[in-house]
C-alpha cells in the first residue's frame, strides 16, 4: 500500500515537472519574434557581495570584470563565459541581450549623468503676470 502511494506521488511530481518545462519552452519561444535581432551577449550585474567568499569565487568575478555591487558588464555568449556565470550564479543577475544593447563603461556612465545646466519648472513672477 505504501509503495503504491509513493509511486503515485512520484508520477504526479513528474507530470507537474513536465508541464512546467513545456510552459517554460512555450514562453521562451513565444517571447522572441523572428524579426528581432539575435541575442548574442550576456548582461551580467553583481547583485550580492562576494565578501567572505572563497578566493576562487572572487577570482571568477574579477575575470568577468566585476569589481563592485550593482556593476554591469557585457560578455559575448561562449562556453567559457557561461561556465564563469554558473560558478557565481547566486551572486549575479544575467540577461540575454542583442549586440545593439551592449554599452561600454563610458556609455553607461553617460546614461547615468544628469543633463547639464538647469531648467525653470515654474515661476511665481510669470504666473502673476509681472
CATH number of 38-112: 3.30.1390.20
Would you list the DSSP string of the chain?
-HHHHHHHHHHHHHHHHHHHHHHHHHHHHHTS-TTSPPEEEEEEEE-S--TTS-HHHHHHHHHHT--STT-EEEEE--HHHHHHHHHTTTTEEEEEEEGGG---HHHHHHHHSPPSS------HHHHHT-
* pLDDT tens-place string over residues 81-126: 999 999 999 999 999 999 999 999 999 999 999 888 887 788 888 7
Q: Is 0.95 surpassed by the pTM of this model?
A: no
pLDDT attached to residue 108: 94
Domain assignments of the chain as residue spans, ordered by start: 1-31, 38-112
Amino acid at each position: 500500500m505504501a509503495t503504491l502511494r509513493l509511486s503515485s506521488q512520484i508520477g504526479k511530481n513528474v507530470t507537474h515537472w513536465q508541464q512546467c518545462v513545456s510552459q517554460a519552452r512555450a514562453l521562451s519561444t513565444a517571447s522572441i519574434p523572428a524579426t528581432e535581432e539575435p541575442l548574442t551577449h550576456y548582461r551580467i550585474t553583481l547583485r550580492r557581495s562576494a565578501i567572505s567568499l572563497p578566493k576562487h569565487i572572487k577570482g571568477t568575478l574579477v575575470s568577468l570584470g566585476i569589481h563592485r555591487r550593482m556593476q554591469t558588464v557585457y560578455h559575448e555568449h561562449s562556453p567559457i563565459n557561461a561556465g564563469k556565470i554558473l560558478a557565481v550564479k547566486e551572486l549575479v543577475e544575467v540577461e540575454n541581450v542583442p549586440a545593439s544593447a551592449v554599452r561600454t563603461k563610458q556609455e553607461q556612465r553617460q546614461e547615468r549623468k544628469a543633463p547639464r545646466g538647469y531648467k525653470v519648472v515654474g515661476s511665481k513672477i510669470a504666473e502673476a503676470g509681472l
